[in-house]
Homo-oligomer: A and B are copies of this chain.
Amino acid sequence: MAKEIGASTVRTERRDAAENRQRILNVAIRLFEQHGVEHVSMNQIAAEAQIGSGTLYRRYRNKSELCLDLIKDNVVLLFEDIETYLEQNRSRPPSLRLKGILSLFIRFREKKAQLLTGVEDSSSSQSKTRTRSPIHDELHQLLVELFDEINKREPVHPESAFRADMLLMALSKDAYLFQKEVRGYSPETILEQVCLTFIPPERDN
């Protein structure tokens, strides 16, 4: 009668559930590659995977989460790359390190454009304001640290958190695509413009 709570019993994932999960992932990858992330609906995925749509939504609250699951590994790699880069350039000026990170991120963006776009798609329900994607949160923290370091030499400056928000916004799906498609900038040009805009010039002090 007394229920075991916590510790002892951990209820592993059910076998059939695991199968379904794998099926969803496979179908999603296939459909995304075939038609492009934007043109594949959750219904379609559910149907193709032969599960009810409720089942799909039970696992992924929306397409963003599904996309995130699909590139999770790549995201981990990105952050490992960043970490390595930061360690190898520890002694160089923070503005340069910042630029390096941005370069890495832009390369990532280009490589995984489709899915990353899916992840960021504000999409669903209300909360545009609420949840930034976890990728952004982690990058934000890195940026804040670098800005703090840069700011030590600057007499007046915006809050690091604010500047980081702005910078990330500049690299977000919408802004980035706008610069590419409407302004016609290349990834390299965007990087350069972003640096000029958000990184104050070196003080030769």
Chain A's interface: helix, strand, loop or mixed, by majority?
helix
Chain B: which residue is nearest A181 at the CB level? Answer: B129
Segment of A17-25, A64-72, A82-90, A170-178 engaged in the interface with chain B: A170-178
B129/A182 in contact, CB under 8 A: yes
| A126-162 residues at the B interface, CB under 8 angstroms | 126, 128-130, 156-159, 161-162
A170/B166 in contact, CB under 8 A: yes
A197/B198 in contact, CB under 8 A: yes
Interface residues on A, range: 20 to 34
Q: CB-CB < 8 A to A161: which residues of B?
A: 183
B169/A175 in contact, CB under 8 A: yes
Closest 10 CB pairs of A and B: A158-B196, A162-B193, A158-B197, A158-B193, A129-B177, A129-B178, A129-B181, A128-B174, A166-B170, A163-B197
Residues of chain A at the chain B interface (Cβ within 8 Å): 38, 122, 126, 128-130, 156-159, 161-163, 165-166, 169-170, 174-175, 177-179, 181-183, 185, 193, 196-198, 201
